[in-house]
Amino acid sequence: MQATITNIQGYSIHDGPGIRTVVFFKGCPLSCKWCANPECIAALPQTGFLESLCTYCGKCATSCPYGAINDDTTRHRINYDLCTGCGTCIGSCYYGALVGYGEKNSVEQVFDTVRRDAMFYTDGGGVTVSGGEPLLYPEFTAALFRLCKDDGISTCIETSGHVKSENLLMLLPLTDFLLFDIKHIDCEKHSEYTARPNDLILENARLAADSGVDTLFRIPLIPGINDDTESIEGISGFLRSILPEPKVQLMPYHRLGDSKYKALGITNELRGLEIMKPDRIGEVKALYERLGVECSISR
């Protein structure tokens, strides 16, 4: 059993309780315009190009078996209509200008990496599966979580919620903590900014709330998109309808993914969007709390 993994990041303090190792799966059903991990959207391995490191020596073009390297310096170095993400060119680049996003891993390989960090899993720490969307790989994730449970390692899922409900229900009994994203309460706006409606997400949010698993709903806070009073009231009302004491965590928009958009030749549609000022983030937090929702801010 294998899954495509883009990264396994140790010593994370932002993806669940305590210190955690985060496993990033490749492939996501959503295409959020603010996505900070665009390399995790497509399910198959990809090759990125870091232009600032390239000397245009030509070795990558010679090595590519598919003729997917452009010699024209006015274009992106990689022709993605021809590139298969095989990674052959990466090994030929002495300067690190080519980078691979995504590699097939077995459950045992991932667990071995997670287990090496076990000494840091104090205060409720453990493993978090993220992405991308880990619940696109339910059998793989379940097998990984069973190994973690047998070894006394806490488990956490970070999900967009846009997955088959049976996938979520399969994993909930193996999950200690759930991070569940709510992007927007308005279905049309959700479709506009993520390429998918939110009805399945809201249905799965109800299932998560009913499961009794400790759940924190996380809201990417995007200026001009979901920081208005109507959006905040809508999300708050929905969460109060499914939980007696709902909790949310705001994740303010940032530009840390900009370089990856460029590396993959993807247009960043929100490039140039102003970062929200701390005072404004505080106002949003205060409004959620006035509406009866416990609110924190991801740093």
Asked if residue 6 belongs to a domain, the reply is yes
**Residues 268 and 211 grouped into a single domain:** yes
Nearest Cα neighbor of 284 from 219, 237, 239 is 219
Percentage of the residues of the chain whose pLDDT score is greater than 70: 100
**Strand stretches in the chain, DSSP E:** 2-12, 20-25, 46-49, 98-101, 103-106, 126-130, 154-159, 177-181, 214-221, 247-252, 294-297
Asked if residue 40 belongs to a domain, the reply is no
- Span 220-231, average pLDDT: 96
Mark residue 258 as left, alpha or beta (left: phi above 0; alpha: psi -120 to 50; beta: remaining): alpha
**Residues 22 and 112 grouped into a single domain:** yes
What's the confidence (pLDDT) of residue 292? Answer: 95
**Residues 137 and 227 grouped into a single domain:** yes
| CATH classification at residue 97 | 3.30.70.20
Tell me the two tokens of residue 74. 């006015």
What's the confidence (pLDDT) of residue 231? Answer: 97
Q: Output DSSP code: residue 77.
A: S
Pair type for strands 46-49 and 98-101: antiparallel
Asked if residue 218 belongs to a domain, the reply is yes
Provide the residue count of the chain.
299
**Residues 237 and 132 grouped into a single domain:** yes
Please state at what angle helix 229-242 crosses helix 199-211, rounded to 10 degrees.
Answer: 40
What's the confidence (pLDDT) of residue 17? Answer: 92
- Span 145-159, average pLDDT: 96
The residue from 81, 101, 121 where one domain ends is 101
Q: What is the pLDDT of residues 172-209, one digit of tens each?
A: 999 999 999 999 999 999 999 999 999 999 999 999 99
pLDDT reading at 277 higher than 90: yes
The residue from 61, 78, 101 where one domain ends is 101
Nearest Cα neighbor of 49 from 34, 36, 39, 62 is 39
Lowest mean pLDDT: which of 29-38, 67-76, 245-254? Answer: 67-76
**DSSP run (H or E) holding 165:** helix 165-171
Range of the domain at 65: 46-101
**Residues 200 and 55 grouped into a single domain:** no
Nearest Cα neighbor of 31 from 21, 40, 22 is 40
The residue from 57, 76, 101 where one domain ends is 101
pLDDT reading at 217 higher than 80: yes
Q: What is the pLDDT of residues 66-104, one digit of tens each?
A: 999 988 877 899 999 999 999 999 999 999 999 999 999
Could you tell me the pLDDT band of residue 256, with boundaries at 50, 70 and 90? confident
Q: How many domains does the chain have?
A: 2
What's the confidence (pLDDT) of residue 173? Answer: 97
**Residues 159 and 239 grouped into a single domain:** yes
**Residues 70 and 117 grouped into a single domain:** no
Q: How far apart, in Å, do the first and last CA atoms of the chain sit?
A: 35
Q: Is 152 exposed, middle or buried (0-12, 13-18, 19+ CB in 10 A)?
A: exposed
- Span 271-290, average pLDDT: 94
Asked if residue 241 belongs to a domain, the reply is yes
Alpha carbon distance 44, 213 (integer Å): 31
| CATH classification at residue 16 | 3.20.20.70
Please state at what angle helix 229-242 crosses helix 278-290, rounded to 10 degrees.
Answer: 40
H helix intervals, 215-270: 229-242, 258-263
**Residues 51 and 192 grouped into a single domain:** no
pLDDT reading at 299 higher than 80: no
Q: Three-state SS for 136?
A: helix
What's the confidence (pLDDT) of residue 72? Answer: 80
What's the confidence (pLDDT) of residue 272? Answer: 83
pLDDT reading at 271 higher than 90: no
**Residues 176 and 285 grouped into a single domain:** yes
Asked if residue 166 belongs to a domain, the reply is yes
Q: Output DSSP code: residue 17.
A: S
Q: Is 146 exposed, middle or buried (0-12, 13-18, 19+ CB in 10 A)?
A: middle
Q: How many other β-carbons are positioned within 10 Å of the β-carbon of residue 14?
A: 12
**Residues 142 and 73 grouped into a single domain:** no
Tell me the two tokens of residue 56. 């245009």
Could you tell me the pLDDT band of residue 284, with boundaries at 50, 70 and 90? very high
Alpha carbon distance 208, 34 (integer Å): 25
Asked if residue 41 belongs to a domain, the reply is no
What's the confidence (pLDDT) of residue 73? Answer: 79
Asked if residue 36 belongs to a domain, the reply is no
Alpha carbon distance 207, 220 (integer Å): 21
**Residues 18 and 158 grouped into a single domain:** yes
What's the confidence (pLDDT) of residue 124? Answer: 87
Asked if residue 233 belongs to a domain, the reply is yes
**Residues 119 and 15 grouped into a single domain:** yes
What's the confidence (pLDDT) of residue 234? Answer: 97
- Span 277-281, average pLDDT: 95
CA trace torsion 251, 255, 259, 263 (10° rounding): 70
What's the confidence (pLDDT) of residue 61? Answer: 93
